[in-house]
């Protein structure tokens, strides 16, 4: 301890530095993160509302009698829902999801729900990670989300392959919110990396819409897969703006 006239100098310096860091984090806005980004065109954003509705549809117990449908409904044909998977089916290894064939848009969509605050298994997936733990395609990814994506792809590869064979011109889209968006992003990379499991689909036909995603991959991977993974962040949404080191701090405090 450094004392000058009874004042702990070193501790005061640490305190001031921590206070400055906390202040800068509190006043940091999403606009600062994206100030150098290019503006999206209208056609880039066009699928986003449709994907949001599909992800919201996963939350419903019965799509034939929806309880929480947004104005205008979910915009889906219930007969075209190929599969629905709930927590009982996934055993907590992945969030609930549905597979939907959108004939109007020529799109095969895997929509994955977001974090369920009442499900411990969701937290286990989200917090199953350490910095530098999981190496993938020359970069680093979130271990728990990748494992969840591996499980989902293993379960549904044959279903998706069959649908792609039936509809060779359709896109394959992975969409998710929050926790589900991280799984969707991992799924997209796996699909591109292992196209042989999905009828050798071309990279141009694979895409992802990650809505309010957690930071789940290193920068080099984010750049490499930027042509297929689209992140949608609303202003200063907390989760997408949280730096990876802070996620580890929160994990130490809360778990």
Residue 50 C-alpha from the chain's centroid: 16
CA atoms of 64 and 34, how far apart (whole Å): 40
- H or E element at residue 154: helix 143-166
Predicted TM-score (pTM) of this structure: 0.83
Tens-digit pLDDT profile for the chain (255 aa)? Answer: 444 455 577 777 878 888 887 777 666 665 666 677 777 788 888 999 999 999 999 999 999 899 989 998 999 999 999 999 999 999 999 999 999 999 999 999 999 999 898 889 988 888 888 777 788 989 999 999 999 999 999 999 999 999 999 999 999 999 999 999 999 999 999 999 999 999 999 999 999 999 998 888 988 999 999 999 999 887 767 667 666 555 554 555 445
All domains in the chain, ordered by first residue: 47-254 (3.40.50.1820)
CA atoms of 246 and 106, how far apart (whole Å): 40
Structure tokens at 129: 């990670």
Burial classification of residue 197, based on how many CB atoms lie within 10 Å of its CB (0-12 exposed, 13-18 middle, 19 or more buried): middle
CA atoms of 143 and 211, how far apart (whole Å): 20
Nearest Cα residue to 214 out of 253, 189, 184: 184
């Amino acid at each position: 301890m450094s004392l000058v006239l009874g004042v702990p100098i070193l501790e005061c310096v640490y305190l001031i530095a921590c206070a400055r860091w906390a202040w800068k984090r509190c006043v940091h806005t999403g606009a600062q993160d994206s100030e150098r980004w290019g503006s999206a065109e209208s056609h880039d954003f066009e699928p986003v509302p449709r994907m949001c509705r599909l992800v919201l549809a996963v939350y419903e117990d019965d799509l034939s009698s929806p309880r929480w449908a947004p104005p205008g409904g979910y915009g889906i044909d219930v007969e075209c829902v190929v599969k629905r998977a709930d927590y009982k089916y996934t055993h907590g290894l992945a969030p609930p999801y549905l597979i939907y064939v959108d004939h109007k848009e020529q799109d095969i969509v895997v929509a994955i729900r977001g974090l369920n605050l009442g499900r411990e298994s969701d937290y286990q997936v989200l917090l199953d990670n350490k910095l530098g733990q999981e190496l993938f395609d020359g970069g680093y990814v979130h271990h728990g989300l990748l494992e969840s994506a591996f499980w989902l792809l293993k379960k549904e590869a044959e279903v998706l392959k069959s649908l792609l064979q039936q509809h060779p011109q359709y896109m394959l889209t992975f969409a998710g919110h929050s926790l589900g968006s991280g799984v969707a992003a991992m799924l997209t990379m796996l699909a591109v990396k292992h196209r042989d499991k999905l009828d050798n689909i071309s990279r141009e036909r694979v895409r992802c819409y990650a809505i309010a995603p957690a930071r789940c991959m290193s920068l080099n991977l984010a750049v490499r897969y930027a042509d297929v993974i689209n992140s949608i962040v609303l202003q200063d949404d907390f989760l997408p703006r949280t730096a990876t080191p802070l996620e580890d701090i929160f994990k130490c405090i809360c778990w």
